[in-house]
């Protein structure tokens, strides 16, 4: 059979194809810009939302609230839609008038572990501006084939010579000063300038027995390669994701307790896509989203939504110490909430310790 295609038919076909392509592009062009921590960049977490809503989520990851706020300050209003921020720093973002109010009805408030709701941080004047999405502990990670797990139950081991040269200290002054304070009987919520000399003394002692003070990647590398056997300040976020491949790695909360970190998610006030941004927040807080966020390839952590457990395997729950959470939540304390002056003084103490 011979087919004849006229020039007009070709033109129509091309125009139809172009129109189709343009309309597809127009539909797929909706984008959501999220300023996040690295755990949100896992495609396994983001792709289901993108497919379900036919949207492209542009993710920009940052480390440290200061860096995150700098990015916001250097952007135009409306550039960003969703913000993931350290739970203790949500008040900073609220004070800067960055976050939009989140309607309470769109949040699974009753499903969030009560201990991590952090209303004092996430709300102001009765309005909700952010919600806790993930939490975990700055505690002790270790190689159980090289250290006595019983020793890891007491923070005082970090002032003895038993593991000298085999310890990495996590390089973030806020939790580490809180953890040190905890070890000498100080409550993180009540830390003041007057507590710093005693904490400083202990930090200096810790530095003497530590091999290094390092960030997440360097600490994790040191533990995996056997450079160190213990990370003080580590926790499930350092070792839980590795435990399937490295069953020798473990973590625990010592008898004195540990620090509890929490990250919150909110919607930018200047976002032009409030509804889509809220949908994203809803997805992240849904049991499915929470399970994926908890086991993100960047780092693991406990989901804030208790119902996420239905979507985690037994192995994942074991790595996260799911069954021990009630005890951990009872014995751990939140990061110190400090004003700018105490924050600066803490940073000075930490810098002094590093220079020892």
Partner 1 sequence: MTVTPLERAEQRKAWGFALPALVWTTAFFLFPFAYMAAISLWTRSGGKIVATWTLDNYAAFFGKSHLLKALLNSLEVTAIVTVISILLAYPLAWIIAERVPKRWQRMALIMAILPFWTSYVVRSYSWLLVLSKGGVVNQTLIWAGLVAEPLQLSASRTGTVIGFVHFFVMLLTLTIYANLVQLSPNYRRAAADLGASGLQTFRHVILPLTLPGIMVGAFLTFVLCIGDYITPQILGGNNELLLPQVIMLQLGRRADFPMAAALSLVLMAVVTLAYLFCARWLKMERT
Q: Point out which residues bind partner 1 (CB under 8 A).
A: 63-67, 69-70, 92, 95, 165, 171-174, 211-215, 218, 221-222, 225-227, 339-341, 343-344, 347-348, 351-352, 354-355
Helices (H), 136-248: 173-183, 196-209, 216-224, 236-239
- Of residues 161 and 339, the one with the C-beta less far from partner 1: 339
- Of residues 125 and 339, the one with the C-beta less far from partner 1: 339
How many CB atoms lie under 10 A from the CB of residue 239?
A: 25
- Nearest distance in Å: CB 222, partner 1: 7
The radius of gyration computed from the CA coordinates of the chain, to the nearest angstrom, equals 24
- Of residues 4 and 225, the one with the C-beta less far from partner 1: 225
- Nearest distance in Å: CB 292, partner 1: 28
CA geometry: angle at 221 spanning 297 and 38, to 5°?
A: 30
- Of residues 92 and 317, the one with the C-beta less far from partner 1: 92
Nearest to 333 by CA among 84, 135, 109, 64: 135
The Cα–Cα gap between 183 and 254 comes to: 10
The Cα–Cα gap between 24 and 187 comes to: 57
- Nearest distance in Å: CB 69, partner 1: 6
- Nearest distance in Å: CB 243, partner 1: 21
- Of residues 6 and 74, the one with the C-beta less far from partner 1: 74
- Nearest distance in Å: CB 348, partner 1: 7
- Nearest distance in Å: CB 210, partner 1: 8
CB 267 within 8 A of CB 278: yes
Dihedral (C-alpha) 107, 273, 29, 281: value to the nearest 10 degrees? Answer: -20
- Of residues 89 and 115, the one with the C-beta less far from partner 1: 89
In 3-state terms, what secondary structure has residue 324? helix
């Amino acid at each position: 059979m011979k087919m004849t295609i006229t020039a007009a038919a070709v033109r129509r076909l091309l125009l139809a194809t172009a129109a189709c392509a343009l309309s597809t592009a127009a539909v797929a062009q909706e984008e959501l810009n999220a300023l996040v921590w690295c755990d949100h960049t896992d495609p396994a977490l983001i792709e289901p939302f993108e497919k379900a809503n036919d949207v492209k989520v542009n993710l920009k990851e940052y480390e440290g609230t200061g860096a995150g706020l700098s990015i916001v300050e250097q952007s135009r209003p409306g550039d960003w839609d969703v913000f993931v921020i350290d739970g203790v720093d949500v008040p900073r973002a609220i004070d800067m008038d960055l976050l939009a109010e989140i309607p309470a009805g769109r949040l699974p408030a009753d499903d969030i572990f009560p201990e991590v709701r952090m209303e004092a941080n996430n709300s102001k004047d009765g309005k909700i501006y952010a919600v806790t999405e993930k939490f975990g502990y700055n505690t002790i990670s270790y190689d159980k084939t090289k250290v006595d797990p019983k020793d890891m139950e007491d923070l005082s081991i970090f002032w003895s010579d038993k593991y000298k040269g085999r310890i990495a200290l996590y390089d973030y002054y806020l939790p580490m000063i809180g953890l040190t304070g905890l070890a000498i009987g100080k409550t993180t919520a009540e830390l003041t300038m007057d507590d710093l000399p005693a904490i400083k003394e202990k930090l200096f002692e810790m530095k003497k027995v530590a091999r290094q003070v390092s960030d997440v990647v360097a600490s994790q590398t040191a533990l995996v390669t056997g450079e160190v056997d213990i990370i003080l300040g580590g926790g499930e976020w350092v070792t839980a994701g590795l435990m399937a491949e490295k069953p020798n790695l473990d973590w625990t909360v010592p008898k004195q307790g540990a620090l509890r970190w929490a990250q919150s998610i909110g919607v930018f006030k200047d976002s032009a896509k409030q509804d889509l941004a809220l949908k994203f927040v809803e997805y992240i807080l849904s049991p499915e989203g929470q399970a994926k966020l908890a086991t993100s390839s960047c780092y693991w952590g406990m989901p804030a939504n208790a119902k996420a457990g239905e979507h985690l395997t037994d192995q994942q729950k074991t790595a996260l110490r799911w069954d021990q959470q009630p005890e951990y939540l009872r014995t751990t304390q939140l990061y110190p909430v400090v004003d700018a002056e105490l924050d600066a003084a803490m940073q000075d103490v930490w810098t002094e310790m590093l220079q020892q």
